[in-house]
Amino acid sequence: MWTQWLDRWRQRRENAALARRAIPEALWRRTLKRFAFLPRADTLEGVELRRLTSLFLDRKEFTGAHGLVVTDDMAVAIAAQACLPVLRMGLSAYDDFVGIVVHRGLARVRREIADDDGVVHEYEETLSGETVQGGPVMLSWRDVRSAGAKASQAYNVVIHEFAHVLDMADGVPDGMPRLPLDISPTEWRSTFDEAYLAFCRAVDAGEATVVDPYGASSEDEFFAVTSEAFFVAPEGLLAEHPAVYGLLQRYFKQDHLARLLSSADSRSATAQA
Ligand SMILES: [Zn+2]
């Protein structure tokens, strides 16, 4: 009785949020066209992505840095890409943070580092995105906007930063997110460790890789860059790291490559018709 009441209350609250944050048809079509790796509007996944994107817009707070005005186009572009990895897991995977700070271009941040003698050195770093445990997700709009064009290079700043959010949900940024029951920590660790070591050797040898060489900097970055590749350049990831591809497919519960191939088929069929 009590759980039925709770379910009904949740449903009413969700319906109210969906009505409040309904995405206009033209804006949604424009977003899917700009970012061709997102599911098509007329598929079940496309409908679910639109629902999650509305709920994301309702639950998260967007702030423009240095006077930048975050338009509806910008918020929907970010929310839709952020919701792609959690299409099957649901938005509760992102419960640990609320704020998204959008910079116009690269963000400049001050860093401090202490040397062996305890002397603190200050330096400046420029970033396209950053995720802090429990804190806001920071994104460069210039990088978000170019995600459609850069997909073939396995580059996607939104998916990269939200992979960090998933990784940090268990409290430790170590390249291993909270796992579903059918994946054991041992399987995750051994698959990723092996791929990471091979990847570092390839990067050190100066070999060209589909996966962003930045992933060689640590295991948590390797999880973030392979997640980017999984969603925007899955064929390349499958060829380069088949075991990681298979594990990510089970983790995200999505066959993203099959989805992209079928939407490419239906696009060429429409073009020929
Ligand atoms: Zn990163």
| Range from 64-78, 81-95, 97-111 carrying the lowest mean pLDDT | 97-111
Q: Is residue 3 part of a domain?
A: no
CATH label of the domain that carries residue 205: 3.40.390.10
| pLDDT tens, position by position, 171-187 | 889 999 999 999 999 99
Q: Is residue 10 part of a domain?
A: no
Q: Is residue 133 part of a domain?
A: yes
| pLDDT tens, position by position, 116-131 | 888 777 766 667 778 8
Q: Is residue 84 part of a domain?
A: yes
Q: In this structure, are residues 167 and 173 in contact, taking their beta carbons and an 8 Å threshold?
A: yes
Q: Is residue 15 part of a domain?
A: no
Q: Is residue 12 part of a domain?
A: no
CA 9–ligand 1 middle distance (angstroms): 38
Contacts of 95 (CB under 8 A, 6+ apart): none
Q: How many domains does the chain have?
A: 1
Residue 243, pLDDT above cutoff 80 = yes
CA 128–ligand 1 middle distance (angstroms): 9
Average pLDDT, the chain: 89
Q: Which residues pair with 139 in a beta bridge?
A: 102, 129
- The structure's pTM equals 0.89
List the alpha helices (DSSP H) in the chain: 2-20, 25-34, 44-59, 72-83, 141-145, 147-150, 157-168, 185-204, 219-232, 234-240, 242-252, 256-272
CA 15–ligand 1 middle distance (angstroms): 34
| pLDDT tens, position by position, 193-233 | 999 999 999 999 999 999 999 999 999 999 999 999 999 99
Q: Is residue 35 part of a domain?
A: yes
CA 181–ligand 1 middle distance (angstroms): 26
Domain range holding 133?
A: 20-272
CA 31–ligand 1 middle distance (angstroms): 24
Q: Is residue 1 part of a domain?
A: no
